[in-house]
Amino acid sequence: SQTIHQWPATLVQPVGSPLSLECTVEGTSNPNLYWYRQAAGRGLQLLFYSVGIGQISSEVPQNLSASRPQDRQFILSSKKLLLSDSGFYLCAWGSGRARGELFFGEGSRLTVL
Amino acid sequence: AQKITQTQPGMFVQEKEAVTLDCTYDTSDPSYGLFWYKQPSSGEMIFLIYQGSYDQQNATEGRYSLNFQKARKSANLVISASQLGDSAMYFCAMRVDTDKLIFGTGTRLQVFP
């Protein structure tokens, strides 16, 4: 069966520090991968998605970047965090098939102080 | 523009009663998919139910059913026989590309004894 994991689960970082959140998927090959952010009390905003190694699409201009160095690995990064980067980050994968549901990781809660 | 709207920030329901969570959507694409996800306090997003735009019957998954009214562009989630464990945030989502989903702002459901 397919599983998705992301880490760290919780992160408290000072403004201006770097960020790296990692997500890996097991049990499937060539998944579509996504990074969403959920601000407190709000819905999910799509940040990045990837349909293959090295292929990254950005949905909104921001202080963050994403990379996909391996087929089942997706990384969210920042060189210098802003206060506004605080939130709950969710990684997800999808098969790209007809129904198109996404399956999510456990989430990473980032607090920038 | 493609959009998902959930107008109920919060809902209360007594245990064993049924509850309907509202969702309306906007798209000009003839082919689309609608989803409901549950987000408990732990933060992970749990896929509940799917409805395709060409599906003739309303989707059902156990105690969950989706009241799909295409002409009204609504896709309400009905939870029958509510349980205390149903207390969570519920998000409606729509597929806009092959498994790229946009989400509503969510409804917080609280089930009381």
Q: Which residue of B has its CA nearest to A41?
A: B105
Q: How far is CA A108 from CA A6, A98, A101, B11, B40, in A?
A: 7, 29, 21, 27, 15
User: Residue A100 has what pLDDT?
Assistant: 81
Q: Average pLDDT in the A72-87 region?
A: 95
Q: Average pLDDT in the A44-73 region?
A: 92
User: Residue B98 has what pLDDT?
Assistant: 66
Structure tokens at B10: 């919060």
- Which member of B44, B50, B52 has the closest CB to residue A104? B44
User: Residue A96 has what pLDDT?
Assistant: 77
**Hey, are the CB atoms on B100 and A42 less than 8 Å from each other?**
no
Q: Which pLDDT band holds residue B99 (cuts at 50, 70, 90)?
A: low
User: Residue A40 has what pLDDT?
Assistant: 74
Work out the minimum CA distance from A104 to partner chain B, whole angstroms: 6
User: Residue A62 has what pLDDT?
Assistant: 80
User: Residue B51 has what pLDDT?
Assistant: 96
More confident residue, A41 or A4: A4
Work out the minimum CA distance from B113 to partner chain A, whole angstroms: 25
Q: What angle do CA B40, B25, A85 make, to 5 degrees?
A: 50
- Measured CB to CB, residues of chain B less than 8 Å from chain A are 4, 33, 35, 37, 42-47, 50, 52, 91, 95, 98-106
Instruction: Decide: B96 and B103 in contact? Cβ < 8 Å.
Output: no
Q: How many beta-carbon pairs below 8 A join chains A and B? A: 61
